[in-house]
Amino acid sequence: MRRWALAIAILAAVLFLGAEAQAVQQGHQTERISGSAGDVLEDNPVGRLKVYVYDLPSKYNKKLLKKDPRCLNHMFAAEIFMHRFLLSSAVRTFNPEEADWFYTPVYTTCDLTPSGLPLPFKSPRMMRSAIELIATNWPYWNRSEGADHFFVTPHDFGACFHYQEEKAIGRGILPLLQRATLVQTFGQKNHVCLKDGSITIPPFAPPQKMQAHLIPSDTPRSIFVYFRGLFYDTSNDPEGGYYARGARASVWENFKNNPLFDISTDHPPTYYEDMQRSVFCLCPLGWAPWSPRLVEAVVFGCIPVIIADDIVLPFADAIPWEEIGVFVAEEDVPKLDSILTSIPTDVILRKQRLLANPSMKQAMLFPQPAQAGDAFHQILNGLARKLPHGDNVFLKPGERVLNWTAGPPGDLKPW
pLDDT tens figures, 257-274: 999 999 999 999 999 999
Rounded Cα gap, residues 237 and 61, in angstroms: 32
Which of 162, 272, 153 lies closest to 203 in space, CA to CA? 153
Q: What is the pTM of this model?
A: 0.91
Q: Is there a single domain that holds both residue 241 and residue 192?
A: no
In a domain, residue 398? The reply is: no
Which of 160, 52, 57, 153 lies closest to 110 in space, CA to CA? 153
Provide the mean pLDDT of the chain: 91
* Strand 101-103, strand 51-53: pairing: parallel
Rounded Cα gap, residues 271 and 129, in angstroms: 41
Query: What is the pLDDT at residue 253?
Result: 97
Per-residue pLDDT tens for 101-115? 999 999 999 999 998
Q: How many domains does the chain have?
A: 2
Query: What is the pLDDT at residue 17?
Result: 56
Sheet order of strands, 149-152 included = 51-53, 101-103, 149-152, 181-184, 199-200
Backbone conformation region of residue 128, classed left if phi is above 0, alpha if psi is from -120 to 50, else beta: alpha
The 3-state secondary structure of 43-102, one letter per residue: CCCCCCCCEEECCCCHHHCHHHHHHCHHHHCCCCCHHHHHHHHHHCCCCECCCHHHCCEE
Q: Is there a single domain that holds both residue 258 and residue 118?
A: no
The stretch 136-159 carries a mean pLDDT of 97
In a domain, residue 352? The reply is: yes
The stretch 24-41 carries a mean pLDDT of 57
The 3-state secondary structure of 358-403, one letter per residue: HHHHHCCCCCCCCCCCCHHHHHHHHHHCCCCCCCCCCCCCCCCCCC
In a domain, residue 403? The reply is: no
CATH number at residue 231: 3.40.50.2000
Q: Is there a single domain that holds both residue 153 and residue 64?
A: yes
In a domain, residue 109? The reply is: yes
Per-residue pLDDT tens for 399-410? 999 999 999 999
Q: Is there a single domain that holds both residue 120 and residue 248?
A: no
Task: Answer for the pair 33, 357: CB distance below 8 angstroms, yes or no.
Answer: yes
Q: Which helix (H) or strand (E) holds 138?
A: none
Per-residue pLDDT tens for 227-257? 999 999 988 888 777 899 999 999 999 999 9
What is the percentage of the chain residues whose pLDDT exceeds 70?
Answer: 90
In a domain, residue 71? The reply is: yes
pLDDT at 4 over 50: no
Range of the domain at 199: 51-204+374-389
Which of 205, 212, 207, 355 lies closest to 279 in space, CA to CA? 355
Rounded Cα gap, residues 407 and 217, in angstroms: 52
In a domain, residue 334? The reply is: yes
Rounded Cα gap, residues 351 and 194, in angstroms: 29
The stretch 68-87 carries a mean pLDDT of 96
Residue 199 pairs in a beta bridge with: 183
Q: Is there a single domain that holds both residue 385 and residue 324?
A: no
In a domain, residue 26? The reply is: no
Q: Is there a single domain that holds both residue 343 and residue 266?
A: yes
In a domain, residue 42? The reply is: no
Phi, psi of 262 (to 5 degrees): -100, 85
Q: Which helix (H) or strand (E) holds 28?
A: none
Q: Is there a single domain that holds both residue 286 and residue 223?
A: yes
